[in-house]
Amino acid sequence: MSANPNLLVQALLGDAAHLRADLLARALTHRSAGRANNERLEFLGDAALGLIMAEALCARFPHADEGELSRRRAALVNKDSLAAVARQLRLGDYLHLGPGELRTGGHARDSILADALEAVIGAVYADCGFACARDMVLRLFAARIERVAGADAVKDPKTRLQEWLQARRRPVPGYSVVEIAGDAHNQRFMVACRLADTGAETAGQGSSRRRAEQDAAQRMLTELQAESHD
């Protein structure tokens, strides 16, 4: 670490907080720096973060269905959001990186920052418990949770996929009906969503073409966000 870790603990947990030094050091160690790295804590923190956000959203939106809750959580828990929170904490100043990552500016890379924040959440959960981790996460993400409460957070999957691609200057996806099954009064549509630049394709199903397209778009967006988080 190139900065005082006590300052980070204070920013995370407050003046009277304590976090095991070995866990914090592990959480801030990228895999490029050796085998004793933060990947296991990242795994733990990712699970804790997902649960904390799911719990918070269920409490805040008691009438929302699974699809809306999933969209809101995806707007909160993604690489860009995590990296932004990590930058507010100046997490890059505390990271242990291997020589290669140091040379190429790994301390400022979104994926490394996002993973490190999840690892820090995992460390807090492991040392201080779920309630402590939840309080910390809700405080760090408070402004983002408020923004997600707005109308933009519930944009349909096709719109969000198109915006995600356009933000990266990639072409909009194409949709095609692959199959229509069932009787006229109980049809089931299968639609393919295909990316022109890579050929990647996902399939969605629904009781209408529109619903099948939305399902295919959501599957594609989930895959793209997962790839960008790797």
Cα 206 to Cα 180, 188, 203: the distances in Å are 10, 6, 10
Quick check: 41 and 27 in contact, CB under 8 A? yes
Beta-carbon contacts of residue 76 (< 8 Å; ≥ 6 apart): 53, 57, 141, 144, 145, 148
Q: Active-site positions?
A: 46, 118
Neighbour-count burial of 132, counting CB atoms closer than 10 A to its CB (0-12 exposed, 13-18 middle, 19+ buried): middle
CA pair distance 75, 44, nearest whole angstrom? 20
State the Cα–Cα distance between residues 92 and 81, nearest whole angstrom: 15
Q: Two tokens at 54?
A: 């799911």
